Amino acid sequence: QELSSANLRRAAVPTSSTSLPAVVRDLAMSTNKGGGGGKKEVKKETKLGMAYKKDDNFGEWYSEVVVNSEMIEYYDISGCYILRPWAMEIWELLKEFFDAEIKKLKLKPYYFPLFVTENVLQKEKDHIEGFAPEVAWVTKSGKSDLEAPIAIRPTSETVMYPYFSKWIRSHRDLPLKCNQWCNVVRWEFSNPTPFIRSREFLWQEGHTVFATKEEADEEVLQILELYRRIYEEFLAVPVSKGRKSEMEKFAGGLYTTSVEAFIPNTGRGIQGATSHCLGQNFAKMFDITFENEKGERSMVWQNSWAYTTRSIGVMVMTHGDDKGLVLPPKVAPIQVIVIPVPFKDADTTGIKGACESAVYTLNQAGIRADLDARENYSPGWKYSQWEMKGVPLRIEIGPKDLANKQVRIVRRDNGTKVDIPSTDLVEQVRVLLDGFQANLLETAKAKRDACIVIISTWDEFIAALNDKKLILAPWCDEEEVEKDVKARTKGELGAAKTLCTPFDQPDLPSGTVCFASGKPAQKWSFWGRSY
Amino acid sequence: QELSSANLRRAAVPTSSTSLPAVVRDLAMSTNKGGGGGKKEVKKETKLGMAYKKDDNFGEWYSEVVVNSEMIEYYDISGCYILRPWAMEIWELLKEFFDAEIKKLKLKPYYFPLFVTENVLQKEKDHIEGFAPEVAWVTKSGKSDLEAPIAIRPTSETVMYPYFSKWIRSHRDLPLKCNQWCNVVRWEFSNPTPFIRSREFLWQEGHTVFATKEEADEEVLQILELYRRIYEEFLAVPVSKGRKSEMEKFAGGLYTTSVEAFIPNTGRGIQGATSHCLGQNFAKMFDITFENEKGERSMVWQNSWAYTTRSIGVMVMTHGDDKGLVLPPKVAPIQVIVIPVPFKDADTTGIKGACESAVYTLNQAGIRADLDARENYSPGWKYSQWEMKGVPLRIEIGPKDLANKQVRIVRRDNGTKVDIPSTDLVEQVRVLLDGFQANLLETAKAKRDACIVIISTWDEFIAALNDKKLILAPWCDEEEVEKDVKARTKGELGAAKTLCTPFDQPDLPSGTVCFASGKPAQKWSFWGRSY
């Protein structure tokens, strides 16, 4: 049986693991035409598997899965990565959702320059302090030195706000709502990781201006809810909404909210997206004022918010397994891959026709289905490749299926197989895709929840930290205490810090004390190591 | 009557023209609430007009129109511009069309890094010679010097092709079809102009790889036809398809095709978009080979092609008039602006209701209509503002229209007015928009064609050049001769050069000689000054 032999092959590990992506690619793209299962083919198929296991060597596993699934190609500048179609198509699907949602909120598309002068970049002192070490500077064009170095935007507050000051005069010019989809550059030196931490990345950045704090506060949460939906509804990644501590908030802002995910394998929290209320700090520095309805000069309230290609990496880390990627149907570029299984002497024309018909029927119903009709690969090899790429459903059609007017559907997440009549194809595929999407989120949520530990003392905190838990702790909410916790937990794996104070707060009985300072606790906060 | 007074106001020219955009903006965004036509309002309305006339001072007119229509804001780094929603929404509409078309051709979305190392950038010698003077170099991050300077992509051939070499092994990996939407940087110093020549711009760049020259040749023309459609069908700008001379072709390529537009006011040709066959030059330098079906190593054939935000500028130059922008309906962010005209004692509620109903009906029919319900501006002022922004159709609804169950529609291109029954609204608006779109292209084509002069001698050439004509000349097709023409026509306005050799060739009787060299002519080519 094709499937079980494919399963066997998957378990095999290549002999050389040092340059695995290249090995896999070389073989996957081999010109060897040996079709029917000779020695060469077996060798080829043996090498398609993953060299690393998620639970054994998470870092190597992650690099391998993003490369082998053809999402990422490493680039010859450290910290820069090539996003291949398998990643970009996911980015486009997320963008389609998010852009339509923010257009409902009257956001308008802008494009501001990549460059910003030193003078303007430095206007908001806390802001530049936060970003200065990571700024890339252009100092030359052709062979000439520029008169003054020019910065590449690490974010666009300082690029945009001088012009907001120019455009906003009256309360009638408010709210002003800008969004741009673009690249930004943060020349970080620590641990570049595809999607998660790269020197250039893609994002949307929304920048909005209001007459009142109330409007700004409201929008912060509207946007945060969209970010939650991106993670939970699309990427099937459970997140906690919450507020960042003073230490962790956006440089120059008033307060920062975020959706926080957690990677059980590394025991690290990861910031999924942030929605900041900037308050009036930038407005003061950039002189953004308006004449209100009473004819008085008032200062505006501002927000900025962003999510990035990091979201794709969080999804990979959350759902991937030892066979490769697992994609949630809502963002899978291909939701259903159809593979003909032509045994010797079978009606290959009939099988091919049934496959094409299945793809056509699914496409007509708005389901992203594709046919793998390559003749130089065995069905088993194709199974492995599409599993590597994380396609949610595989449809196999062989002679028996043809005779019975049925198709076999195999789920990527749990491997279950079901034979369904061709007449029920669209309906059943829809049910399966919906179930797949829900199952991914539930499974991830169960795993994440199993990592949450509620602690009350320093010793429990350290034990939980060593145990890679997501720690919910009563805290006095003092910056000095967070600094102190950081200092006391410094080490090879990085210090612990607050991830967020979740909006969803457990009871805090009076008399509860801070786990770190012993002072009265003000709130429950998530603590842990983070990306 | 509102309309004629608006016309009168339009004719007025502000007293100070040195900083007009600021003046207009200040006034347009004034907090002055004087609603009903007092002295202040008249002053405000007087200043909404354009300070420059298209035929008198084209350069200043262009700057004024892109700023006053709120497409562009000048930025504090020379040659960089802010694209505001009125420009970005057009860019998004063009992108929607083009991206869908290339996806039909199986182009896949990629994102390659912004940065490229010096070493890789210099691999193709002709290519780097073409771009080197304009390359922006990053040499610092934070306060540290980088080990080696890193270039910002002026185009992505050298960024991508080392990886093409890695990905392509077999004929089965071909064709490879990449496209990315991104920003590029060319640090030019001559005459920065919004959209037309800017140091950073947005574009799509397609990069494709084929097994045979025939496939590459075919795609060059498929893409060129899409570029023609962007200009002619969407932007209503007539273009000539043709081939570039050896001097003017893409640096490092085999041959370049382009769509060329012409700006009658300045008598300059302007390259609209280019579709290059790169031949095998880059393949040699980057070692991009594949094993063909016979098991032999072969070298690939490559294309690259791009169109940019320049296209928006060409459209502005082509259709704009002394009242401001004129937008083709297919790319107008708002196709129909509905303006209530509430006379004193009129049924303002009824009028507002009729306006809202018109917008709703049009939106439901897929027409981009919007309501200008602002109460602090007079209808006349609104007419002028939406004319400045180039909205194709204006609908006015006043008491008489309400009583007669009709609306008045005014065309932006020729000012014609028509009263139509509300029941025919959608149908009539569709007819008018289609007619508007067709009329713009016809008018522009007639103007362009009137500039074409066929010449045969040097004296005729110089006369036509001085007369700002688009010159079609018999040419020997020798590079030395083009260099010579450039040298002989050098001057304040820039030298003449070939624009393209149009595919649509007039008869070339045997014995025809080159206008410049007297040698036998090989072809008819367009010559002139260019942007």
Convert the pLDDT of each residue in A73-83 to its tens digit: 999 999 999 99
Is residue A204 within 8 A of residue A179, CB to CB? The reply is: yes
> Residue B47: its pLDDT value, please?
55
Token readout for A116 is: 């910003």
User: Of the ranges A122-131, B85-94, B369-378, which one carries the lowest mean pLDDT score?
Assistant: A122-131
What band does B190 get if pLDDT is binned at 50, 70 and 90? confident
Mutate: best of A26, A31, A122, partner B, most B CBs <10 A: A31
CA dist A418 and A211 (Å) reads 58
CA dist B326 and B411 (Å) reads 10
What band does A182 get if pLDDT is binned at 50, 70 and 90? very high
**Average pLDDT of B264-286?**
97
Report the percent of chain B where pLDDT is more than 70. 91
DSSP run (H or E) holding A356:
helix A348-364
**CB-closest option in B31, B115, B169 to A169:** B31
Q: Which chain A positions have a beta carbon within 8 Å of B107's beta carbon?
A: none
Q: Which chain A positions have a beta carbon within 8 Å of B74's beta carbon?
A: none
What band does A127 get if pLDDT is binned at 50, 70 and 90? confident
What band does A47 get if pLDDT is binned at 50, 70 and 90? low
> Residue A9: its pLDDT value, please?
33
Long-range CB pairs of A345-353, under 8 A, 24+ apart, other chains included: A346/A398, A346/A399, A346/A402, A347/A399, A347/A402, A350/A402, A351/A397, A351/A398, A351/A399, A351/A402
DSSP run (H or E) holding B272:
strand B268-279
**Average pLDDT of A394-417?**
96
> Residue A130: its pLDDT value, please?
86
Is there a contact between B88 and A77 if contact means CB atoms under 8 Å apart?
no
pLDDT over threshold 70, residue B31:
no
pLDDT over threshold 50, residue B195:
yes
Min Cα–Cα distance to chain B from A100, Å = 13
Amino acid letter, B285: M
Is there a contact between B85 and A169 if contact means CB atoms under 8 Å apart?
no
Taking each helix axis from N to C terminus, what angle separates B348-364 and B425-451, rounded to the nearest 10 degrees? 70
CA dist B45 and A428 (Å) reads 64
Mutate: best of A114, A134, A294, partner B, most B CBs <10 A: A114
Min Cα–Cα distance to chain A from B443, Å = 31
Is there a contact between B142 and A152 if contact means CB atoms under 8 Å apart?
no
**Average pLDDT of B423-436?**
98
Is there a contact between A113 and B200 if contact means CB atoms under 8 Å apart?
yes
Mutate: best of A118, A123, A138, A201, partner B, most B CBs <10 A: A138
Is there a contact between A200 and B114 if contact means CB atoms under 8 Å apart?
yes
**CB-closest option in A80, A110, A162 to B115:** A80
Nearest to A264 by CA among A319, A313, A311, A322: A319
> Residue B35: its pLDDT value, please?
34
CA dist A251 and B3 (Å) reads 52
Q: How many helices (H) and strands (E) does chain A have?
A: 17, 23
Is there a contact between B139 and A140 if contact means CB atoms under 8 Å apart?
yes
Nearest to A21 by CA among A82, A88, A67, A84: A67
B431 Cβ neighbours under 8 A, 6+ residues apart: none
Amino acid letter, A158: T
**CB-closest option in A134, A162, A170 to B29:** A170
State pLDDT tens for residues B473-483. Answer: 999 999 999 99
Min Cα–Cα distance to chain B from A358, Å = 20
Is residue A41 within 8 A of residue A32, CB to CB? The reply is: yes
User: B177 - beta bridge partners?
Assistant: B208
Nearest to A315 by CA among A62, A48, A52: A62
What band does B204 get if pLDDT is binned at 50, 70 and 90? very high
CA dist B99 and B103 (Å) reads 6
> Residue B39: its pLDDT value, please?
37
Is there a contact between A141 and B136 if contact means CB atoms under 8 Å apart?
yes
CA dist A192 and A77 (Å) reads 11
What band does B347 get if pLDDT is binned at 50, 70 and 90? confident
Min Cα–Cα distance to chain B from A26, Å = 8
Provide the pairing of β-strand A72-74 with A81-83: antiparallel
Is residue A47 within 8 A of residue A175, CB to CB? The reply is: no
Is there a contact between B81 and A113 if contact means CB atoms under 8 Å apart?
yes
Q: Which chain A positions have a beta carbon within 8 Å of B139's beta carbon?
A: 137-140
State pLDDT tens for residues A302-358. Answer: 999 999 999 999 999 999 999 999 999 999 999 999 999 988 777 889 999 999 999
> Residue A189: its pLDDT value, please?
79
Provide the pairing of β-strand B108-109 with A301-308: unpaired
**Phi-psi map region of B366: left, alpha, beta (phi>0 left; psi -120 to 50 alpha):** left
pLDDT over threshold 80, residue A512:
yes
* Mean pLDDT score across all residues of chain B: 91
pLDDT over threshold 50, residue A114:
yes
By CB neighbour count within 10 A (0-12 exposed, 13-18 middle, 19+ buried), where does B376 fall?
Answer: middle
- Residue with the two structure tokens 């963002």: A331
Please state which CATH class domain B451-529 belongs to: alpha beta
CA dist A530 and A497 (Å) reads 8
Triad B86, B92, B98: Cα angle to 5°: 140
Min Cα–Cα distance to chain A from B511, Å = 46
B65 Cβ neighbours under 8 A, 6+ residues apart: B50, B316, B320, B324, B325, B388
Q: What is the ipTM of this complex?
A: 0.91
pLDDT over threshold 90, residue A16:
no
**CB-closest option in B82, B143, B149 to A112:** B82
Please give the model's pTM, rounded to 2 decimal places.
Answer: 0.91
Selected residue with higher pLDDT from A132 and B311:
B311
Q: Say how far residue A418 (Cα) sits from the centre of its chain.
A: 31
Amino acid letter, A527: W
CA dist A240 and A428 (Å) reads 33
**Average pLDDT of A255-275?**
98
**CA dihedral defined by B382, B388, B392, B393, rounded to 10 degrees?**
20
User: B452 - beta bridge partners?
Assistant: B470
Backbone angles phi, psi at B456, to 5 degrees: -135, -15
**CB-closest option in A108, A113, A183 to B114:** A183
CA dist A434 and A335 (Å) reads 11
* Mean pLDDT score across all residues of chain A: 91
Q: Which chain B positions have a beta carbon within 8 Å of A152's beta carbon?
A: 138, 152
**Average pLDDT of B426-448?**
98
Helices (H), A79-148: 85-104, 118-121, 125-131
pLDDT over threshold 60, residue A223:
yes
The residue ranges of DSSP E strands in A1-87, in sequence order, are 72-74, 81-83
The residue ranges of DSSP E strands in A331-456, in sequence order, are 336-340, 369-371, 393-397, 406-411, 417-421, 452-454
CATH architecture, domain defined by B336-434: 3-Layer(aba) Sandwich (3.40)
Report the percent of chain A where pLDDT is more than 70. 91
Backbone angles phi, psi at A304, to 5 degrees: -145, 150
- Residue with the two structure tokens 């590394």: A266
Distances B54 to B23, B57, B72 between C-alpha atoms, Å: 19, 6, 18
**Average pLDDT of A115-126?**
91
User: A200 - beta bridge partners?
Assistant: A185
CA dist B309 and B72 (Å) reads 12
B66 Cβ neighbours under 8 A, 6+ residues apart: B72, B87, B194, B195, B313, B316
| Minimum Cα–Cα distance from B145: chain A residue | A137
CA dist A142 and A152 (Å) reads 17
pLDDT over threshold 90, residue B23:
no
Is there a contact between A140 and B142 if contact means CB atoms under 8 Å apart?
no
Min Cα–Cα distance to chain A from B151, Å = 9
Q: Which chain A positions have a beta carbon within 8 Å of B140's beta carbon?
A: 136-137, 139, 149
State pLDDT tens for residues B168-179. Answer: 999 999 999 999
Amino acid letter, B163: Y
Long-range CB pairs of A357-365, under 8 A, 24+ apart, other chains included: A357/A422, A358/A395, A358/A397, A358/A407, A358/A422, A358/A425, A361/A425, A361/A426, A362/A336, A362/A425, A362/A426, A362/A429, A365/A426, A365/A430
Look at the domain B81-319 and name its fold. Answer: BirA Bifunctional Protein; domain 2 (3.30.930)
Is there a contact between B88 and A80 if contact means CB atoms under 8 Å apart?
no
Selected residue with higher pLDDT from B30 and A421:
A421
pLDDT over threshold 90, residue B525:
yes
By CB neighbour count within 10 A (0-12 exposed, 13-18 middle, 19+ buried), where does B294 fall?
Answer: exposed
Min Cα–Cα distance to chain A from B140, Å = 5
| Minimum Cα–Cα distance from A91: chain B residue | B109
> Residue B27: its pLDDT value, please?
36
- Residue with the two structure tokens 């209509």: B369
Is there a contact between A187 and B142 if contact means CB atoms under 8 Å apart?
yes
Report the percent of chain A where pLDDT is more than 90. 86
pLDDT over threshold 90, residue B386:
yes
Min Cα–Cα distance to chain B from A252, Å = 18
Domain boundaries, chain A: 81-319, 336-434, 451-529
CA dist A492 and A82 (Å) reads 30
User: B425-464: b or e for each residue (b if 16 or more CB lie within 10 Å)?
Assistant: beebbeebbeebbeebbebbeeebeebebebeebebbbeb
A 10 A CB-CB count for B300 gives: 27
pLDDT over threshold 50, residue A8:
no
Is residue A244 within 8 A of residue A275, CB to CB? The reply is: no
Is there a contact between B295 and A31 if contact means CB atoms under 8 Å apart?
yes
pLDDT over threshold 60, residue A45:
no
Is there a contact between B120 and A76 if contact means CB atoms under 8 Å apart?
yes
B113 Cβ neighbours under 8 A, 6+ residues apart: A75, A77, A80, A81, A82, A200, B153, B159
Provide the pairing of β-strand B452-454 with B470-475: parallel
Is there a contact between B137 and A140 if contact means CB atoms under 8 Å apart?
yes
CA dist B383 and B3 (Å) reads 8
Min Cα–Cα distance to chain A from B217, Å = 25
User: B145 - beta bridge partners?
Assistant: B140
What band does A49 get if pLDDT is binned at 50, 70 and 90? confident
> Residue A335: its pLDDT value, please?
98
pLDDT over threshold 50, residue A391:
yes
